[in-house]
Structure 1
Amino acid sequence: MPNDTPSAIPALRTIPRDQHSISRKDISANALRVLYRLREGGHEGYLVGGAVRDLLVGGSPKDFDVATSATPEEVRALFRNCRLIGRRFRLAHVVFGREIIEVATFRANVDDGSGDRETHEGGRLLRDNVYGTVEDDAVRRDFTANALYYTIEDFSVRDYVGGFEDVQNRVLRLIGDPETRYREDPVRMLRAVRLAAKLGFDIEPATAVPIRALAPLLSEAAPARLFEETLKLFLSGHAVASFEGLERHGLLPVLLPEAAAAMKANRSGALRAVVVEGLRGTDARVAADEPVSPAFLFALLLWPAYCRTLMALQAQDMQPAEAQRRAADRVTVHELATIAVPRRFSLPMQEIWLLQSRFGLRQRKRVMRMLAHPRFRAAFDFLQVRQAGSDEHADDIAFWREAQLDPDLAIAHSPAGEGDDVAHAPRRRRRRRPAAAG
């Protein structure tokens, strides 16, 4: 558990309204409604966590969380539109249409027997529902930047752990002993990388150093939880920075073991170039408020693993189509042991991979069938990303770009005549270096 000795807790610092940048007009009206209702009910209530942090650095939070002295049952008694969720962490969700305000009761470090806490023998918290004071709650949060409390009493920010100064200095610092905190919840290592990437913060040395050695602990996390964390890492608009952070701190080989091994073995760097280019495009789409499919994301992240596995199967003289199917299945199954990618995403992910071999076909029937395929657009976008690893795809990209506008004209312009099925049949190409697989 984090160090909860009095000497480790800085004295309360109250930052008055005229010394911080948070304004009520930037806070969800529903979050303010929850805070005022809690106060009217005789309970303490604060806006806390990422919303306070993001508002201080000029961001626009999407979620607004509240911390309170009220128990989950007391919160439910105040709000008819409230439901209680969670076993590991008991929480109240106050629902306002499509917006949910998450309300958490102050939690404490020390269990006096009145609460509900269960710890794994390795130090990982399985359940933590021991309630306490706001001071207790501040110390048990993960990073100092997430332990700032905005109050409607006087519109000040209350800081118990030095978080306000860390936010001003753009530093991400764990509260308490870093190794102990990571062992409590290994996913905190991913959160550190994600928040640093999102905020442009530096992870302070004591917080960063243990990550590489403790990275294998991520294997203890539930695969379903790692799927959600992966989406947060790569679909929040800071995918490239998150990817580089995972590499820098030794987390990528644990999260994406086969893909990381394939990129490491690929001396030219072509496979990594494809991934980074794709993530750069993902960031651009998020910035433009355009959707990004998790299927496309995982097709990108696991592409190096697929390429390496495909080459190994082809080296065994397996027929190209069979090798492609087996490679796709094998990579998917192996990754599921770490990240539980749902079938609704893994199946279209595989289709994106398998369609790549069809872009060299120019027979009219095949072209029309390809254009009508429900995954064509995603597969074509993926083909364009692959150009970052090799320029051999330029002719195919030009052809299919024209084919989307006028298939007959594209076929007429193609060097191969219409119906030249033999010239464009799938070929198995032996390649000496993984670079060509980009």
Structure 2
Amino acid sequence: MNILIIGSGGRESAFAWKIAQSNQISQLYIAPGNAGTGQYGQNVPLEVTDFDGIADFVLQNDIDMVLVGPEEPLVKGIHDFFLDRDDLKNIPVIGPQQKGAQLEGSKDFAKQFMVRHGIPTASSQSFDKATLAEGLAYLETQKLPIVLKADGLAAGKGVLICTTLEEAKAELQAMLAEGKFGEASSKVVIEEYLSGIELSVFVLTDGDSYKVLPSAKDYKRIGEGDTGLNTGGMGSVSPVPFADDEFLNEVEQRIIMPTINGLKEDGIPYKGFIFIGLMNVEGKPYVIEYNVRMGDPETESVLPRIESDLVDLLQGIAQGNLVDRSFTLSPKTAATVVLVSGGYPEAYESGKTISNTENVKDSIVFHAGTREENGVVNTAGGRVLAVTALKDTLFDALQQATADAGRIYFEGKYFRKDIGFDLI
């Protein structure tokens, strides 16, 4: 098979690493990829939303399947684009059509979906510029802290937790009346604050049957002890120790099955990954958000624990017979530590030479924000590399990944040395 992966981050690097292991692969392409994905396949200089360019490449290179990594092309309808063209409609796209992608593309859509299908989530109401006054009045009736969410995609920055009524009112005004997050905050979901421990569960589905992938927990804050600014993710672990069989069974019964059945009831075809962001509130799972793709850096911890052939599973999605495909997981624990550029998540420098990755022997180094220029690998993003270790215990995995993160060098390098230690 010839497979094209769309994307350029650590998630796509992990997909390329895993897919390259399949004996079903003839040629693997990654568009646009990064300096690390080139060791698993061929990078293609195409933007993830250049649908026409992607279509031309797919037809010219006999691509048999397209795996979409990031959310933007899904929300913008890349799957529908393929289905609408006679010359592309028979090439499977792994990732939902535009309607299903609204689970991530619109927080309001996702909330209405959950309420309609009895899926446990925080209570909420949505407001737009025309109903700003009602939104301000609604805030006065709610407990603090309170959560404000931009309805649309805001590059992970559209969620605010407000601790005072004054702050909440000012932020709602900024989002709706002043366009704080642009078009993404033309509608805002005001949501009850849930107190508990976060984790993520991932599901692979052909729209009918599904496989529950390993649970994972990621660490968003830049500073050790979960302090400082939010980031795209500073590390992750899988499995999550507190997510035992009883808890995960409840997640499956109360959340996963109603989600899959709800999509069918609503006539929404769905082929791909569902990322379910959860809050464990006193042992009960509540949905914080849906994403319509795998998370990053959770993918870097989840995929190394899947022992099955990922290409075989993806073919099960494409052919609608996922239920018949073999699915086995490693009992080992994966820990991922992310190396970032100095200054991240605010202004940071790029173009710093990366060295010593060849001396990492007991972990996998996934590239994220990297670029190869004249044979030299340089930094080209905020999150640069993800180092993943797979070991028998959480402690050993964390120790290995952290030690190997320390072996790599580039100017301004920073990583958290406490990833996962709150779980030991």
Q: What TM bracket, shorter-length normalisation? A: under 0.3
Q: Higher strand fraction: Structure 1 or Structure 2?
A: 2
Q: Higher helix fraction: Structure 1 or Structure 2?
A: 1
User: If the length of structure 2 is used for normalisation, what is the TM-score?
Assistant: 0.24
- Which has the higher relative contact order, 1 or 2, with Cα contacts under 8 A spaced 6 or more apart? 2
Larger Rg: 1
